[in-house]
With several copies, the nearest count.
Chain A
Amino acid sequence: MASETVTDSAAAPDAAAPENADAPERAGLADGVDLARALEAIFMVVDEPQSVVGLASAVGRPVKEVRAAIASLVADYDGEPDPAALPDAPARPRRGFELREVGGGWRLYVRAEFDDVVRDFVHTQAPAKLSQAALETLAVIAYKQPISRGAVASIRAVNVDSVVRTLLSRGLITEAYTDSETGAIHYETTELLLTQLGINSLDELPQISPLLDDGQAGFDDVR
């Protein structure tokens, strides 16, 4: 802990400026930026476990340094004493989250002893019944799948981000593919929806055709 502090205070803006010039072309941390702090920033936003090599290339630092910084973060979050601190320094808290290596990469997870709290919380957050907004969004996805969130939003004329998350966490929809050009995730419905509706396949959804082709074609041939 003390070591980071030292680095932090040393990383004064003016000190960073001149050395900044030799920073790598694309990515890379400016000199003097604490590597551990940058890594924990990255871990905050990533969904998938991150390999040490990938992280090293992203921050433009040697793999060895990145590995050491990760180890220091693990110890930090686990509440182990700071090796650089004085013997009688106060203990560091054991965080509610931890950094774990899973499947060849590192990711932040809820610490196991808080699973119950988080499970309770997720429970309260998810009401037993879907809202009208969620049902309508689900209906749009069911009839137009695979469809991106943006396309659903423009049909529903409202922002659907949180509703889509709800449907995802409910297992009623899933990610079908990611458009390689736009990066937009396209969603489709799952077997669970069919089960809930009591049908065997999407073909059994009642036909509502005329409105489906964006009101363009298809008015004459009702599907």
Chain B
Amino acid sequence: MATPPDAVIEAGDSSPDARGGFRVAVADFDGPFDLLLSLITKRELDITEVSLSAVTDDFLAYLRALEGAERLDEASEFLVVAATLLDLKIASLLPQGELVDAEDVALLEARDLLFARLLQYRAFKEVSAWFSERITAETRRHVRSVRLEDRFRQTTTELRWTTSVDDFAALALLAFAPKEIPIVGLDHLHAPLISVREEAAHVVGMLRAGEPLTFRQLIAGADQMGVVVARFLALLELYRHAAIGFEQLEPLGELTVRWTAENWSDENLVNLGAEYGQ
């Protein structure tokens, strides 16, 4: 990070951002974070040219100077926006080319959706300022709310009390029971469980014969994304156990996997992938 933290923190008098929030200073841009966002959403700044890691470094330095609730607020806001920017950036970095196949179209749509999400987020953020102003203004207002005059107090309808003392205690129990906000159940989703261990056993079986295999060959026949993911995780685990080696001649090129373990016992498989649960 080239810019020293205190240079970043300066509230920037020339800044159009009057509240003097977080300022970004990276290669092609120097100004408030909000401005960076609006430039990106207006596509006047290429997201791929913004170093998110530099922005993050700056932000962390800026955060250290803040305190308490303000810090939390700014941090959570930054996370929301940064996560979207990251998605955006990933989408931008992917090859674009000509609109030849459906995949590319889908990619562009995904990018637009991310822009949309950012815009939507900004809309809610902006309108939340209105909420804040209104609520603050309204807490200063005073409504007439006085105790009922005694002469009216005694004239209310006679209470029809139907609760027994035991029912009353049961109500108390109900009221005191911890109020957990119920969690949305996922039980209705019946995705078949895929075991990293089982897939590892499969991969080991294929590789142990001695012939190096490409990743493409290893996942041949896998009809579910989950199986592909599980086999990939299994490979990482096996690599950690020094059971296999990788070879890749060029970036994004064919990945070749070779069996390198000298004394492998199937007991090693038992614990493999345990941290993935299944």
Interface hub of A43, A132, A165 (most chain B Cβ within 10 A): A132
CB distance from B148 to the nearest CB of A (A): 6
Interface: B149 (CB within 8 A) = yes
Q: What is the bound-complex CA distance between A148 and B276, given in angstroms?
A: 29
Q: Which of A182-223 contact B (CB under 8 A)?
A: 182-185, 195-199, 204-206, 208, 211-212, 214-216, 219, 222-223
In the complex, the answer to whether B73 meets A131 with C-beta atoms within 8 Å is yes
CB distance from A20 to the nearest CB of B (A): 20
Q: Which of A130-163 contact B (CB under 8 A)?
A: 130-133, 135-140, 142-143, 148-150, 155-158, 161
Q: What is the bound-complex CA distance between A172 and B158, given in angstroms?
A: 12
Q: Which of A41-61 contact B (CB under 8 A)?
A: 43-47
In the complex, the answer to whether A211 meets B173 with C-beta atoms within 8 Å is yes
* CB-defined contacts of A112 to chain B, threshold 8 Å: 140-141
In the complex, the answer to whether A205 meets B156 with C-beta atoms within 8 Å is no
* CB-defined contacts of A184 to chain B, threshold 8 Å: 184
* CB-defined contacts of B126 to chain A, threshold 8 Å: 208
Q: What is the bound-complex CA distance between A129 and B132, given in angstroms?
A: 9
Stretch of A29-37, A72-80, A103-111 on the interface side: A103-111
CB < 8 Å neighbour of B151 from A115, A129, A181 = A115
Interface bin, chain B = 35 or more
In the complex, the answer to whether A197 meets B135 with C-beta atoms within 8 Å is yes
Q: What is the bound-complex CA distance between A135 and B134, given in angstroms?
A: 11
CB < 8 Å neighbour of A156 from B80, B142, B149 = B80
* CB-defined contacts of B15 to chain A, threshold 8 Å: none
With CB as the reference atom, state the residue of chain A lying closest to B84: A157
Interface: A97 (CB within 8 A) = yes
Q: What is the bound-complex CA distance between A206 and B133, given in angstroms?
A: 13
Q: What is the bound-complex CA distance between A170 and B131, given in angstroms?
A: 15
In the complex, the answer to whether B146 meets A212 with C-beta atoms within 8 Å is no
Interface: B6 (CB within 8 A) = no
Q: What is the bound-complex CA distance between A4 and B142, given in angstroms?
A: 23
Interface: A171 (CB within 8 A) = yes
In the complex, the answer to whether A109 meets B152 with C-beta atoms within 8 Å is no
* CB-defined contacts of A137 to chain B, threshold 8 Å: 175
Stretch of B26-34, B161-169, B224-232, B251-259 on the interface side: B161-169
In the complex, the answer to whether B184 meets A182 with C-beta atoms within 8 Å is yes
Interface hub of A181, A215, A222 (most chain B Cβ within 10 A): A215
In the complex, the answer to whether A140 meets B175 with C-beta atoms within 8 Å is yes
With CB as the reference atom, state the residue of chain A lying closest to B114: A215
What is A's interface to B at a CB cutoff of 8 Å? 43-47, 97, 107-110, 112, 115, 118-119, 122-123, 126-133, 135-140, 142-143, 148-150, 155-158, 161, 164-165, 168-172, 181-185, 195-199, 204-206, 208, 211-212, 214-216, 219, 222-223
A–B Cβ pairs within 8 angstroms, 22 of them? A44-B144, A109-B149, A115-B140, A126-B157, A130-B135, A130-B161, A133-B72, A133-B73, A139-B124, A143-B176, A171-B153, A183-B188, A196-B159, A196-B161, A197-B168, A198-B164, A205-B168, A206-B130, A206-B168, A211-B123, A211-B173, A215-B113
